[in-house]
Structure 1
Amino acid sequence: MPLFTHEHQIDMLLVYGEARKNHREAKALYGQRYPDRTQPHDKYFLWLERHLKTKIIEEEPNEFIVSEEVEINTLASIEVDPTTSVRQIAANVGIGRESIRKILKKHKFKPFKYQRPFHCRLTI
């Protein structure tokens, strides 16, 4: 099945509507109106309608917006104590853990459990 641009698909749907959802008439009408374009198979009109009815419209993800003050507080918490957990930072700053993770990711921090090197551990 050839790939069609969104503009071509919109034109196909308009022609399909004018043909009163008759895919054979739609193919003939589309061929008359747009002779220079690739002609779809007549079943493509049916597929296109069904596809657009059942397709889940994917919205663009919401842009992550957080105040500069919250970012500074989060980064300061990490700077003061790198062993602090994301959960503790979230409780101190007052926003969710996922927001803290996004801030850390934005500034290229990777959350991990801090472990001292073996030779630096105190023995009793």
Structure 2
Amino acid sequence: MEHLSVQEKIDMILSYGENGKNVEHAVTLYVQRFPDSVRSLASFYQVLSKFTTNGSVQAKKRNSPKTFTGVNNEIAVLATVANDPHVSIRHLSRDSGTSQSSVLRVLKRNKYHLFHLSQHDELQGNDFQNRMTFYQWALQQM
């Protein structure tokens, strides 16, 4: 459906009512009144359908409740992170029974940035001797 302003939708509903709830006549009247804003029969049907369903011509607001991010659940996640700062998002999500995105939202809101330390380098038994050999070679090069 093409983008319609609220005023255009109201005008469409009014022309529909003035024509005895006849959509074809309402489209004709609308075209006569607003020649620059020609609307199709399908757009009239969509506006009327939404109006009868919602009782309003304005777009319905999408209210998806954020069920997890309540105070009690937020405290539980923060307490778990404070107890074990190396816990993964996956484990937090599984233990709390909620989605990973909800856990991330709670942590971001409280300015936690989780990361895992991974140690890639470790000293071997002959590292000291190799280091001393390199230093002596570097001194000779100078």
What TM-score, normalized by structure 2, do the two folds share?
0.53
Task: Report deviation, 1:47.
Answer: 4.3
Q: What's the % identity of the aligned pairs?
A: 20
Query: How many equivalent residue pairs?
Result: 109
1:67-89 alpha-carbon deviations (Å, 9 max, x no partner)? 32321221122233222122322
Gaps of 5+ in 2: 51-58, 126-142
**Does 2:34 align with 1:8?**
no
Q: Provide the aligned C-alpha RMSD in A.
A: 3.6
Residue 89 and residue 10 in structure 1: after superposition, are their counterparts in 2 closer, same or farther (change >3 A)? Answer: same
Is the radius of gyration larger for structure 1 or structure 2?
Answer: 2
Aligned positions of 1:65-104 closer than 5 A: 65=67, 66-92=69-95, 94-98=96-100, 99-104=102-107
Residue 118 and residue 16 in structure 1: after superposition, are their counterparts in 2 closer, same or farther (change >3 A)? Answer: same
Residue 100 and residue 49 in structure 1: after superposition, are their counterparts in 2 closer, same or farther (change >3 A)? Answer: same
The one-letter code sitting in structure 2 at the alignment partner of 1:96 is T
Residue 7 and residue 97 in structure 1: after superposition, are their counterparts in 2 closer, same or farther (change >3 A)? Answer: same
| 3-state SS, counterpart of residue 96 of structure 1 | coil
Task: Report deviation, 1:64.
Answer: 1.9
1:77-124 alpha-carbon deviations (Å, 9 max, x no partner)? 2233222122322344x3313432332233344455x023546x5768
Residue 4 and residue 90 in structure 1: after superposition, are their counterparts in 2 closer, same or farther (change >3 A)? Answer: closer
The one-letter code sitting in structure 2 at the alignment partner of 1:8 is E
| 3-state SS, counterpart of residue 9 of structure 1 | helix
Gaps of 5+ in 1: 32-36
Alignment equivalent of 2:41, drawn from 24, 46, 53: 46
Task: Tell me how far apart the structure 2 counterparts of residues 83 and 64 of structure 1 sit (CA, whole Å).
Answer: 26
What TM-score, normalized by structure 1, do the two folds share?
0.58
State the match for 2:56 in structure 1. none
